[in-house]
Amino acid sequence: MLIREAIATLERESHLSGDLAQSRSLALFTESIVSLLSCPTVHAALIDLVSLMGQTFPQAAPSLYVISHDSDAQAYSVLAYNQGGAEDVARVMGKRPTVYNAVAVGGYPPLMGRRIDLLLVDSPKTRVILSTNSGIHDGIFREWVKILTPAVAKLMAHEVLLHMAYRDGLTGLLNYRALEEMLKSEQDRAVRYGTSFSIMMVDIDYFKRINDTYGHQIGDVVLKSLAERITGCVRKSDLVFRYGGEEFAILLPHTGIAKARKLADRVRFMVERTDFIAGLRITVSIGISEFQDGQGAFEPVKQADRGLYLAKERGRNRVEVMRGIL
Provide φ and ψ at 125, rounded to 5°.
-95, -30
- Which residues is 277 bridged to in the sheet? 280
Q: Is 246 a catalytic residue?
A: yes
| Interatomic CA distance for residues 125 and 196, integer angstroms | 38
- Looking at residue 294, its amino acid is G
Give me the catalytic one of 143, 246, 299, 320.
246
* Greatest pairwise CA separation for the chain in angstroms: 80
Among the listed residues 146, 306, 159, 174, the one whose alpha carbon sits nearest the alpha carbon of residue 249: 174
| Interatomic CA distance for residues 84 and 108, integer angstroms | 13
End-to-end Cα distance, the chain: 48
Strands (E), 52-183: 63-68, 73-77, 98-102, 115-122, 126-133
| Phi-psi label, residue 173: left if phi above 0, alpha if psi -120 to 50, beta otherwise | beta
- Looking at residue 81, its amino acid is Y
Which stretches of the chain are DSSP H helices?
A: 2-16, 20-38, 42-56, 86-93, 138-166, 176-193, 207-214, 216-233, 257-272, 299-313
- Residues serving a catalytic function are 246
